[in-house]
Structure formats: structure tokens, C-alpha cells
Amino acid sequence: MYPDKNKSRPECEGCYSCERRSVEKNIGAVTGKEEITVALAGQPNTGKSTIFNRLTGLNQKVGNWPGKTVDRKEGRVVRGDRVYRLVDLPGTYGLTANSVEEEIARDYIVSGDPDVVVAVVNAASVERSIYLASELAGFKVPIVIALNMMDVAEQEGRRVDARRFSAAIGLPVVPMTASMNQGVDQIFETLDAMDPQHPQERNSVELPSEVSRLAELLDSPSSLPYPKEWAASKLIEGDYKVTRAVKNALKDGKWQAVETFLSGHKEVANAIIRMRQQWIDEACRKAVENVKACRSPSEKWDRIFLHPLWGRLVAFLAIPLSALTGILLGMFTGGQALYAALEGGPKIKAAWPGMMGSMMADGLAPALGWITALVCIIGFIYAIFYFLEDIGYLARISFLTDTFLRRIGAGGKSAIPLMLGLMCNTVAIAGTRVVETRRQRLVTIVMLP
């Protein structure tokens, strides 16, 4: 659904959380401070939620695999005479939506709701993760580039000069390592210094003239939910949702003219991509330097973990072995409590003869023992999977299994819920939220063991 700034969730009367939300929402009006909405956008796994958590002090889900944030999340921070309403968005590779999460992020960015967009870019792979910013630069909304993961870039022998980068693209660039809380204050300082009403000078991507010619044909219909120029470029790129929205918004004759224009200018789509790529290459040429041509530790490990044969073999063994290790560790720790509870039954009965002792020995003590054993087993399994997630191994399993799972109607992102299904179906079904499409989600749920 197209998000509307003025629409909010229905609120009930008197409920504590609704009341709190309402106070938070109106905090700007209540305190007389200016409210600035800041959207955190960027490719999946670039550290948006980590930055959001650092900025707001909240605890959004972070992890080392793409697609964790599947919905918009908000937090507010009062700073000086401003209230910053921070919005953490799902990851998106660009402003052409290929999945539900990308659509949520894209629609929110183009809705006009954000006063500022913080585009999060991975410093270790600037060339790939700056694409979204190249599209954003075409909008009027002020942009700050958060050049995150500077530590990873350094480890991989890359030097990204934030000043030169900023000069090349004409946008403020803040180098940061969000996981170590570096650069977070500078983001706020940059935001404090910005006036969202004031147009930002920038070097936007020069798009082919056909885009503005097509935009003129759109004739700014009031029901068109997108900016004209942007909608024109997406029509040329064949964006399904934008095409449908424009078709519905235009009268028959006008849509005919748009269609004729599009069929006569099919080659422009490639020209748009080429021009964006030139913009990216130019900026990277000026600001990114490969200091040492070394292979990062993760690249070295990936030769095994992403190998078509060895990688699959390791994955095939790693998951059951991890689950088994968790079960064994749980049994050795929590199992002791269960053993003690069962062993101690006669002693309890001897100490408290009668119904009380019998209830404790045969009911309460074994129940507590079983609960302790199960909590330990589940706890260890989760700790092991958390570790695998954090080092990025689960993301590699998704990558390895993607081709196979797509053939049976699911997708690479189904691998993790399917693995969770070996332990607990409730968690696994909840985990299918990350799966890209509704159909893939259903297939995954049906396949759960």
C-alpha cells in the first residue's frame, strides 16, 4: 500500500502503549520543537539497523545476513531544538522494487515523508552499495551518506577518502564504524547543520533527455503517487508497480501516448543504467584506493564455504552437527538438573512424608528438571545459530541453496526458516517473514518438518 504521512494506525482509548505512541508522535508539537523525519535507507546488510539502534538507543534486530528488517521501524530522539524521527527501512538495492521489503522501502522514500535520507553505504564495497544513492540524488530530499564499515574496508586493504567522495558526489559523507559506535555523533552533527527546507547542491546523475520528454507526457496528474521525472525513469526501466499506477492515473488517450513513447525508446533503459554506473565509477575513481591487493580473511574462507561441492557438503554437515552440539551441551548442563530432580525423589518423600512430599517428588521436581533441561538445550542451539548468523555463515547457506530451493518454489532465504523448523515450528513460521514473496513463504511453511 502506498504510505500516507497523515494516516496512522488506529489508536484505542486508554491503552498504555497507544497513549505512549501518541505522546511520542506528537512530541514535536507538545514541546514546540521542529520535527525532522530521517529515513535510513541502503542495501541489505549495510548496517542500517545498527546505526538506527546507535542513534535512538532502541534495539532493532541486527544480524549478519540480508533481509532482517522487513518493515518500517521508528524511534525518536530529542536534540537541541529538534526532534528527530528516525525511520529504519528494509534493505533495498535500488528504487526499483523487486520484493515486498524493497517496495516498502522504495514507496516510503518516494512518498515525500522523509525530510532527510541517510543513505547507508558499505565502505568495503562502495561500487555496489552506492547505486541506491545514485538514484536518490535525483530527488529533492536532502541526503547524507553514512559510509559505514570503515573497519572492514581497512581490513580488506581499501582506503575510502570521505572528503574526496563528498566532493565527487556533492553530498555530505560521514565515515563510520557503527558496530563500534564510531561516527554516530557525526551523523547527528551533520543532521543538526542541515536545513531540510534548503535545497542541497549536489552532482546528480545526468539522465538521458528522453526521461524529461516522457515526464512531460505524464502531465502531473494529481492522482499520480510519484514524482513525475522519477516515474518517467521507472516507466522506461519497466517497473511493474509504477507502470500500473501511472496507467491507472492517466486517461486512456494519454496512456496510449506514453505506451507509444516507451515502445519507441526501449534502448533508453540501458542508457540510464550506463549513466548511473558512470556517476558511480567517477566517484570511486576519485575517492577509493586499493592499498594492498590482498584477499580478505572472509574471501579466503569463502573459497571453501561457497564452493559448489565442498560448500554444500560443509553446509549439509554443519547444520545437523550444530543442532546436535546444542542438544548435547544442553543435556550435559540442564540434563544434570533433570537427573538430580529424578534422583532426589525418594529423599524428598522421606523428608516430607504424605501428599506434600509426593507432589514435590513426583510432580514439581521432575517438571522443573524437564523445563531446565529444555531451556538449556534450546538456549545452546540458539547460541550456536546466533554465532553462525553473526559470522555470516547462514547468509552463505542461503546463497548456496538458492538455486535448488527456487526450483521447488521456495528461495535461498527459505533455508534459515527450514533449518529453524528442525527445532521449533513456531519460530520457523515467524522466520518466514524474511522470505521474498508470498508464494515462496507458503511453500516454505508447507515444507517445514
Q: Is 148 in the site for ligand GTP (CB under 6 A)?
A: yes
- Considering beta carbons, is residue 46 or 243 the nearer one to Mg ion? 46
Q: Is 37 in the site for ligand GTP (CB under 6 A)?
A: no
Element (H, E) at 14: none
Closest CA to 46 of 172, 132, 154: 132
- Considering beta carbons, is residue 49 or 233 the nearer one to Mg ion? 49
How many C-beta atoms lie closer than 10 Å to residue 428's C-beta? 22
Q: Is 28 in the site for ligand GTP (CB under 6 A)?
A: no
Where does this chain touch ligand GTP (CB under 6 A) — which range of 108-116, 172-180, 281-289, 298-306? Answer: 172-180
- C-alpha grid cell for residue 156? 580488506
Among 38, 117, 149, 373, the residue binding ligand GTP under the rule CB under 6 A is 149
Q: Is the torsion defined by CA of 271, 275, 276, 281 positive or negative? A: positive
What is the closest distance, in whole angstroms, from the C-beta atom of residue 187 to ligand GTP in the complex?
A: 12
- Nearest-angstrom CA–CA distance, 94 and 272: 13
Rounded (5°) CA angle 80-82-83: 115
- Considering beta carbons, is residue 144 or 178 the nearer one to ligand GTP? 178
Contacts of residue 166, Cβ cutoff 8 Å, sequence gap at least 6: 145, 172, 173
How does DSSP assign 68-110, residue by residue?
A: ---S-EEEEEEETTEEEEEEE----SSSS--SHHHHHHHHHHH
What is the closest distance, in whole angstroms, from the C-beta atom of residue 127 to ligand GTP in the complex?
A: 18
- Considering beta carbons, is residue 46 or 322 the nearer one to ligand GTP? 46
- Nearest-angstrom CA–CA distance, 87 and 75: 7
What is the closest distance, in whole angstroms, from the C-beta atom of residue 51 to ligand GTP in the complex?
A: 7
How does DSSP assign 301-361, residue by residue?
A: HHHHHT-TTHHHHHHHHHHHHHHHHHHHHHHHHHHHHHHHHHHTHHHHHHHSTTHHHHHII
Q: Is 166 in the site for Mg ion (CB under 5 A)?
A: no
Burial, 300: exposed, middle or buried (Cβ in 10 Å; 0-12, 13-18, 19+)?
A: exposed
Q: Is 413 in the site for ligand GTP (CB under 6 A)?
A: no
- C-alpha grid cell for residue 12? 484505542
Among 91, 138, 142, 421, the residue binding ligand GTP under the rule CB under 6 A is 91
What is the closest distance, in whole angstroms, from the C-beta atom of residue 383 to ligand GTP in the complex?
A: 16
- Nearest-angstrom CA–CA distance, 175 and 162: 6
Where does this chain touch ligand GTP (CB under 6 A) — which range of 11-19, 59-67, 157-165, 221-229? Answer: 59-67
- Footprint of Mg ion on 3-62 (CB under 5 A): 48-49
Where does this chain touch ligand GTP (CB under 6 A) — which range of 45-53, 208-216, 285-293, 368-376? Answer: 45-53
Reduce the DSSP state of residue 220 to 3 states and report it.
coil
Among 50, 134, 190, 432, the residue binding ligand GTP under the rule CB under 6 A is 50
- Considering beta carbons, is residue 121 or 211 the nearer one to ligand GTP? 121
- Considering beta carbons, is residue 61 or 347 the nearer one to ligand GTP? 61
Q: Is 179 in the site for ligand GTP (CB under 6 A)?
A: yes
- Nearest-angstrom CA–CA distance, 433 and 90: 12
Residue 151 binds which of ligand GTP, Mg ion, none (CB < 5-8 A, kind-dependent): ligand GTP
Q: How far is CA 182 from CA 49, 75, 119, 154, 298, in A?
A: 15, 20, 17, 14, 23
What is the closest distance, in whole angstroms, from the C-beta atom of residue 93 to ligand GTP in the complex?
A: 10
Residue that the C-alpha cell 557503527 belongs to? 178
Q: Is 129 in the site for Mg ion (CB under 5 A)?
A: no
What is the closest distance, in whole angstroms, from the C-beta atom of residue 221 to ligand GTP in the complex?
A: 33
# binding residues, Mg ion (CB under 5 A): 4
Burial, 51: exposed, middle or buried (Cβ in 10 Å; 0-12, 13-18, 19+)?
A: buried
Among 37, 43, 53, 69, the residue binding Mg ion under the rule CB under 5 A is 69
Q: Is 46 in the site for ligand GTP (CB under 6 A)?
A: yes
What is the closest distance, in whole angstroms, from the C-beta atom of residue 178 to Mg ion in the complex?
A: 11
Q: Residue type at 411? A: G
Among 37, 38, 39, 45, the residue binding ligand GTP under the rule CB under 6 A is 45
Q: Is 62 in the site for ligand GTP (CB under 6 A)?
A: yes
- C-alpha grid cell for residue 274? 550506463
Q: Is 47 in the site for ligand GTP (CB under 6 A)?
A: yes
Q: Which residues form the interface with ligand GTP (CB under 6 A)?
A: 42, 44-50, 62-64, 66-69, 90-91, 148-149, 151-152, 177-179, 390
Q: Which residues form the interface with Mg ion (CB under 5 A)?
A: 48-49, 68-69
